[in-house]
Amino acid sequence: MFDPKTKVLVVDDMLTMRKIVTKILRELGFIDIAEAQDGNEAWAKAKSGHCGLIISDWNMPNCTGLELLKKVRADKDLAKTPFLLVTAEAEQQQVAEAIKSGVDQYVVKPFSKEGLKTKLESTYKKVSVRNSA
């Protein structure tokens, strides 16, 4: 699992969703959590400081989670940052596009603490394999 000191950036245009994800992360032991209300704000925060994990909503105004993912993957400093997309839709075409764009994992709303923990563990394993290759 990720080190509890990993800086996590939670991105969602809905304050309630950001608070739910942040609460779950704190219950899982994470201590360094930042929030952003859209992809543009998240991009600025990711660029200004080391970010060890991004958990982003898909559907947001200004800059979607998928657009943020593409920016992160195209940036030499951020390209390997673990990225988990949160979506209300589990449509195969969207999932395929996210995978093609380099998402490490995705979780479908609504989700439980255990569901998010499982996705985080899966993301950690995937990233560990990728970074050791």
pLDDT interval class at 128 (50, 70, 90): very high
| CATH code, domain with 110 | 3.40.50.2300
- Average pLDDT of the residues in 94-117: 93
pLDDT interval class at 49 (50, 70, 90): confident
Please indicate, yes or no, if residue 1 is contained in any of the structural domains: no
Please indicate, yes or no, if residue 132 is contained in any of the structural domains: no
Please indicate, yes or no, if residue 106 is contained in any of the structural domains: yes
Quick one: pLDDT at residue 4?
95
Quick one: pLDDT at residue 66?
96
Q: What is the pTM of this model?
A: 0.96
Count of domains observed in the chain: 1
Give 58-89 pLDDT, tens digit per residue: 999 999 999 999 999 999 999 999 999 998 87
Quick one: pLDDT at residue 28?
98
The average confidence (pLDDT) of the chain is: 94
63: domain range? 7-126
Please indicate, yes or no, if residue 2 is contained in any of the structural domains: no
CA 92 to chain centre: 19
